[in-house]
Amino acid sequence: MREVLRARACFGALACLAVLAGCTGLFRSDAKPEQTYVLRAAAAPAAAAGPQTATASAVPAPALGSLQVAHPLTAPGLEGPHIILVQADHRMNFYLGSRWSGPVPDVVEALTVDTLRSGGEWQSVEDSGSPFPADYLLQISVRRFEADYTAGGGAPTVEVVLDCTLGGRAGLIASFVAQGSAAAAGDHMSQVVAAFGSASDSALESLATQTAAAARAAQARGSMSR
Per-residue pLDDT of the chain (226 residues; tens, 9 = 90+): 444 434 444 445 444 444 444 444 434 446 678 899 999 998 765 433 444 444 444 555 668 999 999 999 999 999 999 999 999 999 999 999 999 999 999 999 999 999 999 999 999 999 999 999 999 999 999 999 999 999 988 899 999 999 999 999 889 999 999 999 999 999 999 999 999 999 999 999 999 999 999 999 998 887 545 5
Q: What pLDDT, on a 0 to 100 scale, did the predictor assign at position 61?
A: 61
- The whole-angstrom separation of Cα 162 and Cα 157 is 16
DSSP assignment of 103-170 equals -HHHHHHHHHHHHHHHHT-SSEEE-TT--S--SEEEEEEEEEEEEE-TT-SSS-EEEEEEEEEEEETT
Is-contact 36 99, C-beta < 8 A?
Answer: yes
Q: What pLDDT, on a 0 to 100 scale, did the predictor assign at position 199?
A: 98
- The whole-angstrom separation of Cα 137 and Cα 128 is 10
Q: What pLDDT, on a 0 to 100 scale, did the predictor assign at position 43?
A: 77
Is-contact 64 122, C-beta < 8 A?
Answer: yes
Beta bridge partners of 197: none
Q: What pLDDT, on a 0 to 100 scale, did the predictor assign at position 182?
A: 98
- The whole-angstrom separation of Cα 159 and Cα 182 is 7
Q: What pLDDT, on a 0 to 100 scale, did the predictor assign at position 54?
A: 44
Q: What pLDDT, on a 0 to 100 scale, did the predictor assign at position 20?
A: 41
Is-contact 125 116, C-beta < 8 A?
Answer: yes
Closest CA to 134 of 191, 72, 209, 215: 215
Q: What pLDDT, on a 0 to 100 scale, did the predictor assign at position 222?
A: 72
pTM of the model: 0.80
Residue type, 33: P
Is-contact 158 184, C-beta < 8 A?
Answer: yes
Closest CA to 68 of 130, 121, 141: 130
Burial 15-51 (b: 16+ CB within 10 A, else e): eeeeeeeeeeeeeeeeeeeeeebebebbeeeeeeeee
Q: What pLDDT, on a 0 to 100 scale, did the predictor assign at position 114?
A: 98
Q: What pLDDT, on a 0 to 100 scale, did the predictor assign at position 59?
A: 52
